[in-house]
Structure 1
Amino acid sequence: MCGRFAFHSLDFSALAEAVHQPDLFADVEPRYNVPPGTLISVARRADDDAPVTIDRLWWGYRPHWADAKAPQPINAKAETVATSKYFAPAFQRHRCLIPADGWYEWLLVDGRKQPHYLTRTDRQTLYLAGIWTERGDDLPPGVAIITEPARGSAREVHDRMPLALSDDSLEPWLDPHFTERDAIRGVTRHVDASLIEHWTVSTAVNKPGDDRNAALINPL
């Protein structure tokens, strides 16, 4: 799954190049422990003809047509996101990217959960595939991060991981003209598993209130 991540480099260069918008920019601050139920930086097209923008959306997905008591998932499984009634409309028309430097997972060791930080070996920005939807409340549109079965070294920590897309998949993922599952699969691929590494970090990351502390991602 993906329930906590970090985005501190604020580097959108790969995305800017992919969508041919060299001035793509967002006035955001570094965050080292981003929890659900907060505003996060999301790259999307607000409508089919709009340019890609970096907007502040709510990490918690609940479509406007859903009941107020409906679930607000933070993740959507890659295996079912295109066919689920809850997610399919957004998968077709409202795909987005969540830039991140890495994410956290917890591994049970001797009865205690030890946090690990997972990131790219080359420290380039990860672009996590997501979907967004207009909500039926006063919050901005809501987002869910798509997850897939863990690959490579990520399997040592958790059985699932966020779907991080390769740089050449960014533009087609955001292209509203691709609406069918097979067509989208044909033009996108995930980051090579060999590019993902992880290390243990302090249990201070367990407290979601502190997201400005750069030491949270330091190896123990």
Structure 2
Amino acid sequence: MCGRFALFTPIPQLTNKVGAVMSERDIGPRYNVAPGTWIASIRQASEDSAPTLEEMWWGFRPSWAKGKGTQPINARVETVATNNFFKSAFAKHRCLVLADGWYEWIKNTSPKQPHYLCRQDREPLYFAAIYAKREDGRLGCAILTEPARGSSIDVHDRMPLILNDDSLESWLAPDLTDKETIRNLVGHIDADLIEHWPVSTAVNKPSEGQGDELINPL
């Protein structure tokens, strides 16, 4: 799964890659982004508009759900196109969640031992995500996950779906709605790019800070 991540690369550097229009709101670095908060994302609302940087609530519950049920933070790539809760968003409302790395926890450790996972070349990450309008009119999203690959298998059996550069435009394209076409055009980064290391257990509590020391190797 993906339940916590870090974002500290300057936002203009991330938006330039997809030609996204910047938000007027200043988005500073965060080293322990948790669910149930507003997170930086990019979406393309229509064929005639440019991608835009927007803040979305990390938690997916469309307005038609009438405030009932959970707000999942992740959606499995294996079922997102067919699950009734997600399939409309997968077809019509796809977005990118911006990150530099994410955290996972080694099982059966006490206290829970977090690891930080990122690209070996330290390039930023573009998580595939879906979004929907919430009851309050704002947008909420869920990050897609896939079976763990590469060294991330050491830490957890799932990982976020991290898109390669060639897939970003297709993933955002609002006119691309056929699920098989989407799957054929969209690819993830090479598993060999991923590395990880243990970090402070201060990550376990987002209230304990957002400083860059959280990603330092133990």
Distance 2:69 2:42 in 1: 25
Tell whether 2:13 aligns with 1:16: no
1:178-197 alignment to 2 at 5 Å?
178-197=176-195
Distance in 1 (alpha carbons) for counterparts of 2:207 and 2:69 = 26
The answer for the alignment partner of 1:100 in structure 2 is 99
Distance across 1 between alignment mates of 2:84 and 2:12: 32
- CA change 1:101–1:62 in 2 (3 A) is same
Alpha-carbon distance, 1:75 to partner? 0.2
Per-residue CA distance 1:100-140 (angstroms, 9 max, x = gap): 0000000025554210000000000100000000011x262
Contact 1:48 1:176 in 2 (8 A): yes
Q: CA deviation at 1:48?
A: 3.8
Distance (whole Å) between structure 1 residues aligned to residue 208 and residue 22 of structure 2: 25
Give the alignment of 1:51-200 within 5 angstroms.
51-136=50-135, 138=136, 140-200=138-198
Once the 2 structures are TM-superposed, how far is the Cα of residue 142 of structure 1 from its aligned partner? 0.5
Q: What is the aligned length?
A: 216
Q: Shift of residue 14 of structure 1?
A: 5.9
One-letter amino acid of the structure 1 residue matched with residue 52 of structure 2: T
Among all aligned residue pairs of Structure 1 and Structure 2, give the percentage whose two residues are the same amino acid.
55
CA RMSD of aligned residues (A): 1.6
Unmatched 5+ residue regions in structure 1?
none
Residues 62-102 of structure 1 deviation map (CA, whole Å, 9 limit, x = unaligned): 01101322210000000000001100000001000001000
Say if 1:58 and 1:139, in contact at 8 Å, map to a contact too: no
Q: How many Å apart are 1:47 and its aligned residue?
A: 3.3
TM-score with structure 1 setting the length:
0.93
Instruction: Report the counterpart of residue 6 of structure 1 in structure 2.
Output: 6
Q: Judge which range, 205-214 or 51-60, deviates more.
A: 205-214
1:45 Cα deviation (Å)? 1.4
The 10-residue stretch of structure 1 (48-57 or 187-196) with the greater mean CA deviation from structure 2 = 48-57
Runs of 4+ in 1 over 6 A off after TM superposition: none
Give the drift of 1:11.
4.7
Question: Separation in 1 of the partners of 2:14 and 2:54?
Answer: 17
**Match of residue 25 from structure 1:** 22
Question: Contact 2:112/2:204 (CA < 8 Å) preserved in 1?
Answer: no
The 2-side partners of 1:104 and 1:54 are apart by 23
2: CA distance between counterparts of 1:118 and 1:62? Answer: 28
Residue 10 of structure 1 and its aligned partner are, at CA, apart by: 2.4
Task: Kindly indicate whether the alpha-carbon contact (under 8 Å) linking 2:15 and 2:22 is maintained by their aligned counterparts in 1.
Answer: no
Q: Secondary structure at the match of 2:151?
A: helix
**Partner letter of residue 143 of structure 1?**
C
Tell me the secondary structure at the aligned position of residue 131 of structure 1: strand
The 8 Å contact of residues 11 and 27 in structure 2, kept in 1 or not, is answered as: no
